[in-house]
Amino acid sequence: MFRRTPCVGICSTTFGDLVCRGCKRFAHEIVQWNAYDADQRRAVWQRLLTLRAGAVAALLRIRDEALLREQAERAGLRPDDSLAAENVLYELLQRVRWREPAVTLEALGVELAPGARLHLEALPETVLAAIDQEFYVRSLAHYERNYRIPAS
């Protein structure tokens, strides 16, 4: 179900970020990844998928999940049925932004979430950039809430 590593090749922790702007893992997780056992890796993956799905849901609403999954299959994705529809949507947007930049959200069975600061006609790369920013903010908040040591 999971790739070997969440790394997407855009690591900002080398520039001092505590949360990578690419994969959204914490700096200590990147450093220790190869020493993690399967349960530790699974826990990191689960957090990333949960935060990413929340970021997608903050901006988009899945109107027709069957259509979304059909479009994912058509694009060559083979999403596991246990993968949240929001994560399927993210992976599909990743795929179509290079192949079919003119694809509409409506054609994927998706609409804008109330209050989302996007246009329905937004290109996949614009939507992905907004999702990635929201995903980063959520990852940073998770880090701050759970790992940051308060100054004394």
Q: What is the pLDDT of residues 46-72, one digit of tens each?
A: 999 999 999 999 999 999 999 999 999
26 pairs with which residues across the strands? 19
> Higher-confidence residue: 70 or 11?
70
| Closest-CA residue to 101 (of 131, 127, 124) | 124
* Residue 71 CB contacts under 8 Å (≥ 6 apart), including other chains: 92, 107, 108, 109
- Averaged pLDDT score across all residues of the chain: 88
What is the DSSP-derived secondary structure letter of residue 26? B
Which of 15-29, 32-46, 52-66, 101-115 is the least confident region?
Answer: 101-115
